[in-house]
């Protein structure tokens, strides 16, 4: 476990270079900046919807560092902006999705934040809770049938998803067939307005792994370096024939579920204010400055460049055209094939 800023304990960097540590922080700040921009654009009436993942930055940026670009497959869920950025999605692509413009991967027809990129190994995102775990298991099964080694599938979901029958079927199938897959639960203690205590009989998702016959690991989801380390270990095991792992990263959803939700109707401001003290973004900034990985000036420069990138992506995407009615059936399938042929 890496040190918390200000504790004076030894910092365990888990083999990460200074450049990699800064890359993790960069994704965390970019994640937050783009997400806050999404909220602002929604409140300005410019986009219909944005989701909220404040509190998930550390687990996502850490796990993304364990993903091997060009080899692995990521099957994420809607709250994974940071993971998607961490494996190579650009700020411009994020804004095309939020503004629903024609140059978006799904030509502006998908739900916002539901990205897809064959180039990045990023599966198209399903809004149906836990459905992505079956898709991910299918991809891992294909890897096994083709006798591929050195690559694996990373799939993510929330605590609420682990109550779905489909989740249990997917995990059971992966364990039975020893598939190259890692199941990463971002346990933020809420499923919209349903608290964890109304979701399951005990609060630990990772313990379910034992029932299926795979390793179950719990990690502090506010610690990006620890999240990187457990994900890397599990992905390496999966890549080399060791089968699946269930990881539970304990974090917290600081904002409402989405721009369409008002969390004041189901949880107190005192609870949220208290949990915001665990905010992983300023904590990791402080840690890297304390450890001499960044100076205060280089941290400010990093934030300025992220803000400039966000502004540029916003302005550029906003000028792109919306899809037209005649675009409805284009870019649904790769190649010239169209559904009516």
Ligand X SMILES: Cc1ncc(C[n+]2csc(CCOP(=O)(O)OP(=O)(O)O)c2C)c(N)n1
- For 225, other C-beta atoms within 10 Å of its C-beta total 25
Looking at 18-26, 92-100, 153-161, 209-217, which segment touches ligand X (CB under 6 A)? 153-161
The answer to whether 300 and 79 have CB atoms below 8 angstroms apart is no
Token pair of 209, please? 């792994």
**Among residues 54, 93, 159, 285, which is the contact residue for Mg ion, using CB under 5 A?**
159
Q: How many residues bind ligand X (CB under 6 A)?
A: 16
**Three-state DSSP class for residue 219:** strand
Residue with nearest beta carbon to Mg ion? 158
- Residue 197 lies near ligand X (rule: CB under 6 A): no
Active site residue: 92, 266, 275, 276, which one?
266
Q: Which DSSP category does 249 fall into?
A: E
Cα 82 vs. chain centroid, distance in angstroms?
Answer: 5
Tell me the longest C-alpha to C-alpha distance in the chain: 66
CB of 65 to ligand X, least distance (A): 21
The span from the CA of 157 to the CA of 80, in Å, is 9
Catalytic residue check, 253: yes
Residue 79 within binding range of ligand X, rule CB under 6 A: yes
Q: What angle do CA 118, 119, 123 make, to 5 degrees?
A: 30
Give the helix/strand (H/E) hosting 73: strand 73-75
Contact status: 192 vs ligand X (CB under 6 A):
yes
Asked whether position 160 contacts ligand X by CB under 6 A, the answer is: yes
**CA 172 to centroid of chain Cα atoms:** 23
From the list 104, 159, 223, 248, which residue makes contact with ligand X (rule: CB under 6 A)? 159
Angle between helices 296-318 and 91-99 (to 10 degrees): 40
Which residue in 1, 40, 128, 321 binds ligand X (CB under 6 A)? 128
Q: What does 192 bind: ligand X, Mg ion, none (CB cut-off 5 to 8 Å by kind)?
A: ligand X
Answer yes or no whether residue 55 interacts with Mg ion by CB under 5 A: no
Burial classification of residue 17, based on how many CB atoms lie within 10 Å of its CB (0-12 exposed, 13-18 middle, 19 or more buried): exposed
| Contact (CB, 8 A) for 129 and 165 | no
Asked if residue 253 binds ligand X (CB under 6 A), the reply is yes
Q: Among residues 41 and 185, whose Cβ is nearest to Mg ion?
A: 185
| Binds Mg ion by CB under 5 A, chosen from 158, 216, 221, 224 | 158
Of 56 and 237, nearer to ligand X (C-beta) is 56
Residue 208 interacting with ligand X (CB under 6 A):
no
- Choose among ligand X, Mg ion, none what residue 321 binds, the Cβ cut-off being 5 to 8 Å by kind: none
Among 188, 245, 256, 258, binds Mg ion (CB under 5 A): 188
| Least gap, CB of 246 to ligand X (angstroms) | 15
Give the number of other CB atoms < 10 A from CB of residue 150: 12
- Nearer Cβ to Mg ion (180/216): 216
Whole-angstrom Cα distance, residue 222 to residue 252?
A: 9
26, containing H or E segment: helix 18-43
Smallest separation, CB 198 to ligand X (Å): 12
The verdict on whether 266 is a catalytic residue reads: yes
Q: Is 195 in the site for ligand X (CB under 6 A)?
A: no
Q: Is 54 in the site for Mg ion (CB under 5 A)?
A: no
C-alpha count within 13 angstroms, C-beta hemisphere, residue 339: 5
Residues near ligand X (CB under 6 A) are: 79, 127-129, 157-161, 186, 188, 190-192, 253, 257
Residues labelled as active-site residues: 253, 257, 266
Give contact residues for Mg ion (rule: CB under 5 A). 158-160, 188, 191
């Amino acid at each position: 476990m890496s040190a918390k800023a200000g504790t004076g304990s030894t910092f365990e960097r888990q083999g990460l270079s200074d450049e990699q540590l800064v890359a993790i922080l960069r994704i965390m700040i970019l994640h937050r900046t783009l997400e806050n921009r999404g909220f602002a654009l929604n409140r300005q009436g410019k986009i219909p919807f944005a989701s909220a993942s404040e509190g998930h930055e550390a687990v996502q940026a850490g796990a993304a560092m364990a993903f091997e670009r060009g080899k692995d497959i990521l099957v994420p869920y809607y709250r994974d902006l940071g993971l998607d950025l961490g494996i190579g999605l650009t700020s411009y692509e994020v804004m095309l999705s939020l503004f629903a413009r024609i140059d978006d991967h799904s030509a502006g027809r998908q739900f916002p934040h539901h990205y897809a990129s064959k180039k990045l190994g990023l599966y198209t995102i399903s809004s149906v809770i836990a459905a992505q775990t079956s898709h991910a298991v299918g991809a891992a099964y294909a890897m096994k049938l083709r006798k591929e080694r050195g690559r694996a599938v990373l799939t993510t979901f929330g605590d609420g998803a682990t109550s779905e029958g489909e989740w249990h079927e997917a995990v059971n199938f992966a364990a039975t067939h020893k598939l190259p897959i890692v199941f990463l639960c971002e346990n933020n203690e809420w499923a919209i307005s349903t608290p964890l205590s109304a979701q399951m009989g005990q609060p630990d998702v990772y313990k379910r792994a034992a029932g299926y016959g795979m390793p179950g690991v719990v990690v502090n989801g506010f610690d990006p370096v620890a999240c990187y380390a457990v994900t890397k270990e599990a992905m390496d095991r999966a890549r080399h024939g060791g089968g699946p792992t269930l990881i539970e990263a304990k974090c917290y959803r600081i904002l409402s579920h989405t721009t369409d939700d008002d969390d004041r109707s189901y949880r107190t401001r005192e609870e949220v204010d208290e949990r915001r003290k665990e905010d992983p973004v300023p904590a990791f900034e402080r840690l890297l400055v304390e450890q001499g990985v960044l100076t205060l000036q280089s941290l400010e420069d990093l934030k300025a460049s992220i803000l400039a990138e966000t502004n540029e992506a916003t302005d550029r995407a906003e000028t792109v055209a919306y899809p037209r009615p005649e675009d409805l059936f284009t870019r649904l399938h790769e190649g010239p094939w169209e559904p009516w042929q």
